[in-house]
C-alpha cells in the first residue's frame, strides 16, 4: 500500500528497524461543492480497489453498504503487483475496460508525471481525464458517506453519524496505528526486539477490542458505523495471513470469543463478506512479500468454513442498519466473488 510496500517488489523489511508506513497521500477530495475541483458526479469517477488489499477492501464495503454501484464504477486489479504498480491482469487483455490502462501507475502519471511515491490502492480516478484524483484511503470512505449522499440507495445506513463522529475518529486513529497497521509493524519488524515490542502492542490492542465487543454488538453500539468498516478487513485477514505470515501468532482470532463471533457476524452481513476473496488475499501476501516468504508458496489452510457457522452477537441490542436503514441488495453480477475463493473452497479440504 505504501511507498515502502510498492517501491521494490518483495522488499519490505529494513534490518534492525521498525516498519514506517508513508502516510503522505494525494489529499484532494471529491465533494458536493467541488471545492478541490472535483465535484461529486455520478458516472464521472472510477474506484480502483484490489480485493487483496485491506485498505481497498473498506472502500468496496462502503460502496456496497451505501449503494453507490450505479454512481461509481469499480476497477479491480489482480492480487499481486511488481515494483512499478498494481496491474489489471484480471481484465480481458490485461487492460481496464474503462480507463484503457494496463497499470494503475498510468493514472498517477497522467496527473503527476514524476509521482514520487507508491502507486497505491484504493485510488479514485477521473474517467474523462483518466488521471488519479485521490488515494487518501482514510478520507475516501468518509466522503462516500458524507459527500455522496445524493447517490445513496434508499435505506442506506448512516455510517458516520454526526453525534458519533468524534468518537469514531478517535477510535479509527487508535485502530489504524495499533491494529490495522499494527499487524504490518509486527510482520515487517527488522529485529527481534522490534518484533517483540510490536507483537505485544498489537495483542494489547486486540485484547482491548475483545473486551469492548463484550459490551455491544458493534464497536459503537447497536448499529454498524465507519469504525466497523475499518476494523473488519483486518480481522478477516487475521487467521489466514497475519497469524502465520506476519508471526502475529499469540493465538488465532478464532480463539477469542467476542472478536471471532463479531467477525463471523459481519462476514455474513450483506456488504461485508461478499466483498472478500480469500484466494486473492492469500496470494497477495504470500507471493508479493518475498523477503518474508522467499519461496512464494501459498498455504492451503486454514479451514475458513467456521466463518459460516452461527454467532452469538444477537444477544446484544441490535439496529444494524440504523433506525430507518435496510440491508443492501446483492452484489452486481460482475462483482460477485468467485465461489471457489470463498470459505468452503479455499482451505484445501
Per residue in 5-40, pLDDT (tens digit) is 443 345 689 999 999 998 899 999 999 999 999 999
The CATH label, of 3.40.50.300, 1.20.1070.10, 3.40.640.10, 1.20.1050.10, for the domain at 162-341 is: 1.20.1050.10
Put residue 38 in one of left, alpha, beta given phi > 0 → left and psi -120 to 50 → alpha: beta
Does this model's pTM top 0.85?
yes
Spatial separation of the C-alpha atoms in residues 159 and 141, rounded to whole Å: 9
Longest dimension (CA), the chain: 54
Beta-strand pair 123-126/73-75: unpaired
Respond yes or no: is residue 108 known to be catalytic. Answer: no
Spatial separation of the C-alpha atoms in residues 18 and 187, rounded to whole Å: 10
Is residue 67 within 8 Å of residue 152, measured between CB atoms?
yes
* Residue of 25, 53, 108, 160 marked catalytic: 53
> pLDDT-based confidence at 229, cuts 50/70/90?
very high
Domain range list for the chain: 3-151, 162-341
> What is the model's pLDDT at position 261?
98
Residue holding cell 514506517? 20
Domain 3-151 top-level CATH class: alpha beta
Q: How many CB atoms sit inside 10 A of residue 210's CB? A: 17
Q: Does the pLDDT of residue 319 top 60, yes or no? A: yes
Is residue 247 within 8 Å of residue 186, measured between CB atoms?
yes
C-alpha distance across the termini of the chain, in Å: 31
> What is the model's pLDDT at position 10?
53
Over residues 164-216, the pLDDT tens digits come to 999 999 999 999 999 999 999 999 999 999 999 999 999 999 999 999 999 99
- Per CATH, 3-151 and 162-341 having the same topology is answered no
> What is the model's pLDDT at position 169?
98
Spatial separation of the C-alpha atoms in residues 102 and 121, rounded to whole Å: 15
Answer yes or no: is 86 a known binding residue: yes
* Residue of 12, 25, 101, 184 marked catalytic: 184
C-alpha cell at 206: 486486540
Q: Does the pLDDT of residue 131 top 50, yes or no? A: yes
Mean pLDDT within 288-308? 96
> What is the model's pLDDT at position 348?
60
- Ramachandran angles phi, psi of 15, nearest 5°: -55, 130
Mean pLDDT within 113-122? 94
Instruction: Identify the CA nearest to 293 among candidates 105, 80, 117, 104.
Output: 80
The region of weakest confidence among 8-12, 167-171, 296-300, 309-313 is 8-12
Q: Does the pLDDT of residue 60 top 90, yes or no? A: yes
Respond yes or no: is residue 53 known to be catalytic. Answer: yes
Spatial separation of the C-alpha atoms in residues 12 and 5, rounded to whole Å: 6
The sign of the CA dihedral 148, 154, 159, 165 is positive
Task: Provide the mean pLDDT of the chain.
Answer: 95
Spatial separation of the C-alpha atoms in residues 288 and 12, rounded to whole Å: 10
Q: Does the pLDDT of residue 44 top 80, yes or no? A: yes
> pLDDT-based confidence at 329, cuts 50/70/90?
very high
Amino acid at each position: 500500500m505504501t511507498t515502502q510496500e510498492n517501491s521494490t517488489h518483495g522488499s519490505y523489511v529494513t534490518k534492525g528497524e521498525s516498519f514506517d508506513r508513508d502516510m503522505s497521500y494525494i489529499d484532494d477530495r471529491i465533494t458536493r461543492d467541488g471545492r478541490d475541483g472535483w465535484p461529486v458526479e455520478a458516472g464521472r469517477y472510477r474506484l480502483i480497489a484490489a480485493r487483496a488489499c485491506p485498505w481497498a477492501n473498506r472502500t468496496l464495503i462502503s460502496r456496497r453498504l451505501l449503494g453507490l454501484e450505479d454512481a461509481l464504477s469499480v476497477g479491480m486489479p489482480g492480487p499481486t503487483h511488481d515494483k512499478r504498480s498494481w496491474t489489471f491482469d484480471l481484465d480481458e487483455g490485461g487492460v481496464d475496460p474503462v480507463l484503457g490502462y494496463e497499470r494503475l501507475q498510468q493514472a498517477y502519471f497522467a496527473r503527476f508525471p514524476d509521482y514520487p511515491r507508491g502507486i497505491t490502492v484504493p485510488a479514485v480516478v477521473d474517467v474523462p481525464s483518466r488521471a488519479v484524483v485521490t488515494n487518501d484511503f482514510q478520507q475516501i470512505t468518509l466522503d462516500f458517506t458524507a459527500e455522496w449522499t445524493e447517490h445513496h440507495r434508499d435505506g442506506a445506513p448512516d455510517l458516520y453519524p454526526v453525534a458519533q463522529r468524534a468518537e469514531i475518529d478517535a477510535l479509527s486513529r487508535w485502530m489504524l496505528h495499533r491494529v490495522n497497521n499494527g499487524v504490518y509493524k509486527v510482520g515487517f519488524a527488522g529485529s527481534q526486539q522490534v518484533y517483540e515490542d510490536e507483537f505485544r502492542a498489537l495483542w494489547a490492542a486486540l485484547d482491548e477490542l475483545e473486551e469492548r465487543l463484550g459490551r455491544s454488538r458493534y464497536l459503537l453500539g447497536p448499529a454498524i458505523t465507519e469504525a466497523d468498516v475499518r476494523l473488519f478487513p483486518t480481522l478477516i485477514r487475521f487467521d489466514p495471513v497475519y497469524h502465520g505470515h506476519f508471526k502475529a501468532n499469540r493465538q488465532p482470532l478464532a480463539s477469542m470469543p467476542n472478536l471471532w463471533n463479531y467477525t463471523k457476524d459481519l462476514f455474513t452481513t450483506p456488504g461485508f463478506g461478499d466483498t472478500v476473496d480469500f484466494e486473492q488475499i492469500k496470494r497477495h501476501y504470500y507471493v508479493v512479500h518475498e523477503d518474508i516468504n522467499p519461496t512464494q508458496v501459498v498455504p492451503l489452510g486454514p479451514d475458513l468454513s467456521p466463518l459460516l457457522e452461527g454467532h452469538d452477537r444477537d444477544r446484544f441490542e441490535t439496529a444494524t442498519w440504523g433506525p430507518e436503514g435496510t440491508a443492501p441488495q446483492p452484489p452486481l453480477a460482475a462483482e460477485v466473488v468467485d465461489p471457489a475463493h470463498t470459505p468452503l473452497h479455499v482451505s484445501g479440504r
